[in-house]
Amino acid sequence: MIEIKNLSKNFGSLNVLDDISFEIEKGEIYGIIGQSGAGKSTLLRCINGLETFDSGSIIVDGKIINTLTKKELQHVQKEMGMVFQNFNLLSRLNVYDNVALPLQFWGQRKNSPENKEKIMNLLRLVGLEDKVNSKPAQLSGGQQQRVAIARALILDPKVLLCDEATSALDPVITKEILDLLLKINKEMGITIVVVTHQMEVIKQICTKVAFIKNGKVVTVGKPEELFVAPNPEVQAFVGESVEILPKDGVNVKLFFADENSESHLITTLARKLDIDFDICQGKLENFRGSILGSLIINIQEEDRDKVFAFLKEHHIIWEELQHE
């Protein structure tokens, strides 16, 4: 659905995006994550043509964005709904009229029977059919974001772009909005691109993620592969810290994902090798219903080779933690 090739953009002497390349498949919920200032929002604005770029290319549904005329670009933008952090609703308009705005921009009558039915169906989808006559000031932050999502869907887009769409919301409302995005993706088949610095957003809904730092793509993959794996830059971003570990023996960090996450490998390790070890630290994460995580164990020096051979045989990712 979206292909980004060797994309670079500068603001004066500042290199905001540096040779970025990745692909977003049709029907995915794709996350773009990184610290503030990493270039995430600029990248999103390049995708929908709101920002130009210096080199590379962006292809959306077969159309090369940087070769389109203004009119052609507008039609591609029509197929990409946009949801912002601050909702961007017009305070003087009620919910119905805010949702109808894109229709009016394209010269359609907001109160035609077809469009009225469409608007009300979308308000039912986002759970706000009873707020149709309310003004934004009468709504909670979560309700305002639901209006913004309905507005972004009114032109039947193929892609929904979300720029920090949950950053201004509390955790409970964030989960509700994420559940709504999952529902939209499943029921409407819309490809969703989520720009965020919130780990919970990535873990709950994204099927794939690009981690960006200082305008560069550090790594791309499934969230569970990225955040439950020995990648120092990702671990630093997540804020994962290792507590004080034993000074003696060998400290080994095991990473559990997918096929080995629910097995009994730890107890099997102890029984099969007939060894004792200490469990020093553990962490579990919920990725779209799958419980994955890591575990630090301390083994005896003389058990090192056979433990590492066991881990290799059972396809467990691990790293040996060095003593400070």
DSSP letter string over 266-286?
HHHHHHHHT---EEEEEEEEE
278 phi and psi, to 5 degrees? -105, 140
Question: Is residue 118 domain-shared with residue 145, that is, in the same domain?
Answer: yes
Q: Is 67 helix (H, G, I), strand (E, B) or coil?
A: helix
State the Cα–Cα distance between residues 161 and 81, nearest whole angstrom. Answer: 6
Question: Is residue 208 domain-shared with residue 299, that is, in the same domain?
Answer: no
How many helices (H) and strands (E) the chain has is answered by 11, 14
Question: Is residue 195 domain-shared with residue 263, that is, in the same domain?
Answer: no
Question: Is residue 187 domain-shared with residue 287, that is, in the same domain?
Answer: no
pTM, 2 dp: 0.81
Rg for the chain, CA atoms, rounded: 24
Question: Is residue 217 domain-shared with residue 286, that is, in the same domain?
Answer: no
> Could you report the per-residue pLDDT of 199-257, keeping only the tens digit for each?
888 888 999 999 999 999 999 988 877 776 667 787 777 765 556 788 889 999 888 76
Question: Is residue 206 domain-shared with residue 296, that is, in the same domain?
Answer: no
Query: Domain span at residue 267?
Result: 234-321
Question: Is residue 195 domain-shared with residue 84, that is, in the same domain?
Answer: yes
Complete edge-to-edge strand list for the sheet that includes strand 317-321: 278-287, 290-299, 250-256, 317-321
State the Cα–Cα distance between residues 14 and 19, nearest whole angstrom. Answer: 14
Query: Is residue 160 within a helix (H) or strand (E), and if so which, with residue range?
Result: strand 159-163
The residue out of 229, 263, 285 marking a domain boundary is 229
209 phi and psi, to 5 degrees? -150, 145
CATH of residue 300's domain is: 3.30.70.260
Question: Is residue 246 domain-shared with residue 216, that is, in the same domain?
Answer: no
Is it the case that residue 173 has pLDDT exceeding 70?
yes
Is it the case that residue 261 has pLDDT exceeding 60?
no
State the Cα–Cα distance between residues 106 and 318, nearest whole angstrom. Answer: 55
The residue out of 186, 202, 229 marking a domain boundary is 229
> Could you report the per-residue pLDDT of 29-85, keeping only the tens digit for each?
999 998 888 899 999 999 999 999 999 999 999 999 989 999 999 999 999 999 988
The residue out of 229, 262, 282 marking a domain boundary is 229
Is it the case that residue 180 has pLDDT exceeding 80?
yes
State the Cα–Cα distance between residues 287 and 204, nearest whole angstrom. Answer: 6
- How many residues are listed for the chain in this entry? 324
Is it the case that residue 264 has pLDDT exceeding 90?
no
